[in-house]
Structure 1
């Protein structure tokens, strides 16, 4: 078992206590549900922007992105490049729309537009997405802390989860936002510190890193060929645009923040501030991955313990050391990318700095999880409990419901994290799950906003068809080999693209067909007369 020095443990403990105290401080202001869910519209735009940035920059970014860059190249950075276009659409159309409705839930309008089923469907998609997000982040943070401490991943999830639940339940959205402001700054400084430590320990410095990276094509953005079966530049660009459009336009985590701003202009500013900070900040994590790749190319013997660990995990118990060594020799960087940064932290970062960097990684996890818990509780309260169980709930009861729901979703996120133990890539799992759950929700939302002719029938038929497409694309790999021609030929990241377009285009075409048919029926009697 690894044992962190007392100084590092003290720094981590001080950070966790500090986050809990923030929740205690803001708990005095949460006297009603409006304050708990919307902070009574009192948060400045710059703080909301940093909060959204911190939610984007989760531990999936902190750990998954360097692992991805280590194992392949900068192809995943195209996701960040797609953000400005999605932000432009959100700031111009979505933010004013939500501010005008005044509804704290992002999904209330779907019921007004298409009926109760649409709202319920979108809520189900959102909650599943949040559980997948929180689970992947719990898994990522426990992976790092296990390497540093030797404690079980389950125990780590439990301790960090309890701290997150306490300050989120007590402080509400205001505590979430202000802790995320601090966490956003902390995690960015942590990334810069890691780059400095890698470069300072690298023989030949930056020039050697660039030389190795160029030689092994570590800085490429992917193939520019029009191939949608692989993770080409265009596949990641399309995936990034649609998922970011979903984030800015339909994700309760972000929509709820628009209501905390003092005006629509401040809310729009927060979206752009998030983008202009996140794009260069995310680049830092790709730089970390490339730096680590070059470092271990120069020092290959230092990565052997990780390769042996991964080989042993794959083979399981009861195998010989020779079998483990033979498998380890065949492993590629992509097979152990997620474990590289925790390994570097264990072996190369001096006492004191480990505590700071672990606190930064904790902040990356805690900001996104706390945001997801608060948003999920708000959606459950507004869109499920008040809608179907107790519409006349008073404010005191609603506040208690928000507290209990926050705890429940926090625990559910931990359970999902435990279920993910053993996955190969954090980033890949999160991208695939978010694409599956978000595709139908975004398509339905766009249909309601853009296609004014679409009604309840058209939306229901389109959603049913789109859902069938998403299920087929997600599960067709299970089709037996003799029927392989029935499998989805596209890359998994295309699920959200095809699913969204299937619902939107199908609904719009059905509405157009029905409208034309109605016109023809009106014209026919006129011709007879």
Structure 2
């Protein structure tokens, strides 16, 4: 079993203890539900912006993006390029809307607009999305720490999860935001340090990296052909726009932060600060992945251990060394991309700096998980417990409910992460699950905001049709060959695009049809 030097372990322990102490500090203020969920609306916009940036910059970015760039190219960076347009829509329409409602939950207005079913549907979609997000983040951090320590991934998730639960339960949203400010800075500095160490150890430096990257088409943003069946530039751009529209406009993680700002203007500024920080930061991680590819092209012998490990994981325990070696020789970079950066860390980062890097990875995970736990607990308490079970609980009971729900969702997130052990690409899994769960929610939200004439039954029919389309697009790929003509021909990332548009456009058409029929009847009667 690998063991980190005492100094590195001390750095990690100090970091974890510091996060818990932040929770202890802010626990003195958390005497009511408003402070726990809104921080009394006193957080400055710049802190909220860095907090949102830190939530975006999860371990899926820290590990999944370099792994994606190592295994393919910069196609996924197009996701980041879509953020400014989504941010413009959010700052102009969504932020003022939520600030005007005064509702802490992003989904309360669904009931006002379409009825209880719409609110419940949106809440279920959000909670499933959060479990997928927290699970993928837990998995990502466990993957890297397993390479560094040798401990099992499930044990790592358990220890990290307990630390996150403690400071999130004690400190509430204020602790989440201020720890994320620190975490956003730590993880960015960690990424810069990793990039420096790769370039420093690369024979030929940056020019050699550029040469290898160009030879292997590593800087490509994907095909610009209008092809929606592959991961083309346009598919990722559309996916990114819709998923970021969902993030800024529908995700409780972000909507809840709008209420912690002093004003709507401060909340809008926080959205733009997140964008201007995240776009170059995500590019940094793609550069890291390309640099790692070039580094191991020059030193292929240094990555042989990863190839053998992945091959052994894919074969039965009874497989011989020759069988493992044969499979290892056939593996492509995409097959082991997520394991490359942890491997570089454990083999090439000098003792004394590993603790800082691990702390950066912990920051990447903890910021996303803590905000997800707080947001999920808020939604559960407001949209489920108070709506369907007991609406007249006092402040003390509400705060207790929020604490319990935070713990439960933290444990569920850990369980989801454990269930993901063995997936090929954590970034692909997260993108697919988030697209599936978010599609219906976003379509219904846009229908309610844009089409003021749409009624309850029209929205319900449109949502049912949209859900059926989403299910078909998700599962039809498993159909046997004789039914191949029934398979979804589009790329999996198009699910959120098509699902959203089906619900929105179906609702619009049903509304127009109803109004036309009503108009005809009125003329006949007159």
Q: Could you tell me the TM-score, scaled by structure 2's length?
A: 1.00
Aligned equivalents of 2:378 and 2:292: distance in 1? 41
Task: Tell me the residue number matched to 2:284.
Answer: 284
Task: Tell me the residue number matched to 1:352.
Answer: 352
Task: Tell me the residue number matched to 1:318.
Answer: 318
* Secondary structure of 1:258's aligned partner: helix
Task: Tell me the residue number matched to 1:85.
Answer: 85
Task: Tell me the residue number matched to 1:402.
Answer: 402
Q: Deviations over 1:338-382 (max 9, x none)?
A: 000000001000011100000000000000000000000000000
Aligned equivalents of 1:478 and 1:223: distance in 2? 26
Aligned equivalents of 1:525 and 1:348: distance in 2? 83
User: Do structure 1's residue 45 and structure 2's residue 49 form an aligned pair?
Assistant: no
Aligned equivalents of 2:384 and 2:115: distance in 1? 14
* Secondary structure of 2:296's aligned partner: helix
User: Do structure 1's residue 240 and structure 2's residue 272 form an aligned pair?
Assistant: no
* Secondary structure of 2:314's aligned partner: helix
Aligned equivalents of 1:162 and 1:419: distance in 2? 18
Task: Tell me the residue number matched to 2:8.
Answer: 8
Task: Tell me the residue number matched to 1:161.
Answer: 161
- Segments of structure 1 that go 5 or more residues without pairing to the other structure are none
Q: Deviations over 1:383-406 (max 9, x none)?
A: 000000001111110000000000
- Segments of structure 2 that go 5 or more residues without pairing to the other structure are none
Question: 1:53-72 to 2 correspondence within 5 Å?
Answer: 53-72=53-72
Task: Tell me the residue number matched to 2:446.
Answer: 446
- RMSD between aligned alpha carbons? 0.4
Task: Tell me the residue number matched to 2:35.
Answer: 35
Q: Deviations over 1:206-263 (max 9, x none)?
A: 0000010011100000000111111000000000000000000000000000000000
Task: Tell me the residue number matched to 1:484.
Answer: 484
Aligned equivalents of 1:499 and 1:145: distance in 2? 37
Task: Tell me the residue number matched to 2:424.
Answer: 424
Aligned equivalents of 1:501 and 1:412: distance in 2? 31
Instruction: Give the C-alpha shift of residue 316 in structure 1.
Output: 2.5
- How many residue pairs get aligned? The number is 526
Aligned equivalents of 2:112 and 2:269: distance in 1? 28
Aligned equivalents of 2:515 and 2:413: distance in 1? 45
Instruction: Give the C-alpha shift of residue 114 in structure 1.
Output: 0.1
Runs of 4+, deviation exceeding 3 Å: none
Q: Deviations over 1:45-64 (max 9, x none)?
A: 00000000000000000000
* Secondary structure of 1:452's aligned partner: coil
Instruction: Give the C-alpha shift of residue 164 in structure 1.
Output: 0.1
Task: Tell me the residue number matched to 2:147.
Answer: 147
Task: Tell me the residue number matched to 1:252.
Answer: 252
Instruction: Give the C-alpha shift of residue 429 in structure 1.
Output: 0.1
Aligned equivalents of 2:128 and 2:378: distance in 1? 15
Q: Could you tell me the TM-score, scaled by structure 1's length?
A: 0.99
Aligned equivalents of 2:33 and 2:421: distance in 1? 36
Instruction: Give the C-alpha shift of residue 327 in structure 1.
Output: 0.4
Instruction: Give the C-alpha shift of residue 477 in structure 1.
Output: 1.3
Aligned equivalents of 1:9 and 1:508: distance in 2? 58
Instruction: Give the C-alpha shift of residue 525 in structure 1.
Output: 2.0
Task: Tell me the residue number matched to 1:518.
Answer: 518
Aligned equivalents of 1:392 and 1:115: distance in 2? 21
Instruction: Give the C-alpha shift of residue 479 in structure 1.
Output: 1.2
Instruction: Give the C-alpha shift of residue 81 in structure 1.
Output: 0.1
Instruction: Give the C-alpha shift of residue 157 in structure 1.
Output: 0.2
Task: Tell me the residue number matched to 2:172.
Answer: 172
Q: Deviations over 1:4-29 (max 9, x none)?
A: 00010000000000000000000000
Aligned equivalents of 1:486 and 1:345: distance in 2? 46
* Secondary structure of 2:29's aligned partner: coil
Q: Deviations over 1:498-521 (max 9, x none)?
A: 000000000011001101110110
Task: Tell me the residue number matched to 2:502.
Answer: 502
Instruction: Give the C-alpha shift of residue 478 in structure 1.
Output: 1.8
Question: 1:177-216 to 2 correspondence within 5 Å?
Answer: 177-216=177-216
